[in-house]
Structures are given as structure tokens and as C-alpha cells.
Amino acid sequence: MTLPPEPDAGFSLLWPQQWPPDPARLRLGVMASGEGSNFEALVQASRQGPLQAEVVQLVVNNPACTASLRARRLGVPCSLLDHRRQPDRGALDREIAGLFAQREVDLVVMAGWMRIVTPVLIQAFPGRLINIHPSLLPSFRGLDAVGQALAAGVRLSGCTAHLVEEEVDAGPILAQASVPVLDDDDHASLSARIQRQEHRLLPLAVALAAAQLQP
């Protein structure tokens, strides 16, 4: 299935453009720190769209994030694992990995997770940990990728879904979507345009990652 064009994005380039053959139904774990719009996009793609999956667990690290409110509305179990209450990053990741193991999660998606993960989590889900980043990697890695793009004056930006490795924002790319940077763009307008593409790209990336795991 090819993703339809997105008119208000100007254009969208996706690679690859075709959905892979449907894998067995996946059990997804999602990690979020903020609004949770990508989390909801995954839930909707699983329930109403082409993604053969079920989001069985959301983990949030911020008590004030609105992702947990979306989980309640959507009927998805949500656990708060506050990083402020952990002695170090590794301890937090051990709790996350243990929770996802209990929930028998196949793939883990970092959907706006504003923490650098450690080898503890990466090694618990090798080749099964996905991140979405608001730039066309390898450009503008790290914090505030949208601000970096605006400061650099690029005419093309977008988002990248990739597998997570120990080097930040450097794992194998699963899929990318591009958007134009308009003359009157500010941080909010460009972020919104990129986010619309993230919502479309992330379910595809999950399907692609799952296809790579098929024997």
C-alpha cells in the first residue's frame, strides 16, 4: 500500500514507498515524554489502518505529559516511570525493559521520548527499538533539530524513523519523509508540518522493522 500524498506538506518523499507484506500481528510498546501524538497515530494505524499491530503498553517519564491522557482516552495501559526517581539512566531503562518484557512486547517505539537510552534497553530489544526524529538524518542530530534546520537555512527538512543504536540518532534508517521549508516558516509552523509526516511515517517504519525480523 502506497501512502497517499499530503497536500499541505507540499510534497512527500518516502523510501521505500510500499508497505511490506503483513507480518504476524505485533505487540507494540511505546515510550513518550510529551503530547503523545505519535503514540496516538500508532494506535489509530493499528485499529483503523494498515498496520497489523496492537499498542499494548505506553511508558511515560513525565508526570505532566499529556500522552498519558491520550492513553486513558484510547484505553491503552500507561505506566509512569519518572526518571527523576531513578539513580541513573541504566536503572530507568532496566525498569522499562522489564515492563515491556512482562507485556510480551515485540517492538518498542520511542515516540517523542526525550531521554537518551542506554545499552541496557538497546540490548534488551536488539533491532527492535525504533525512534522518530524530526530531521532528515544524518543532518541535524540531537536536540532541537527543527531549530537547527531553520538556523542553517535549508530549504528541505522532514523526519526519519530509524533503529536505535548507542550513538545518538545514528542507527540504520527505516524510512524518511520530506517537507519544504517555506520562506515564512518559524519553529512552530515547520514543527507542525514535520509532525504531520511523522504520524504517517511511523506506522510504516514499524511495519518495515517487523518485516526485517521475519525469518
pLDDT in tens, the chain (215 residues): 334 445 444 434 444 445 566 556 789 999 999 999 999 999 999 998 788 899 999 999 988 899 999 999 999 999 999 888 877 888 999 999 999 999 999 999 999 998 889 999 999 999 999 999 999 999 999 999 999 999 999 999 999 999 999 998 889 999 999 999 999 999 999 999 999 999 999 999 999 998 887 65
- First CA to last CA distance, the chain: 22
Model pLDDT, residue 13: 44
User: Domain residue spans in the chain?
Assistant: 24-213
Q: Report CA-CA distances (Å) from 133 to 94, 113, 137, 180, 184.
A: 23, 10, 8, 16, 23
3-state secondary structure of 187: helix
Cα distance between residue 155 and residue 149, in whole Å: 9
Catalytic residue (one of 133, 162, 187, 199)? 133
The DSSP bridge pattern shows strands 156-163 and 173-180 to be antiparallel
> Residue 165 in contact with residue 129, Cβ under 8 Å?
no
Cell 522489564, residue located: 98
133 is catalytic: yes
Task: Tell me the fold of 24-213.
Answer: Rossmann fold (3.40.50)
Sign of CA dihedral 162, 168, 170, 176: positive
Model pLDDT, residue 51: 87
Residue 98 is inside which H or E element, if any? helix 89-102
How is residue 56 written as a grid cell?
499494548
Model pLDDT, residue 22: 59
3-state secondary structure of 141: coil
Model pLDDT, residue 8: 47
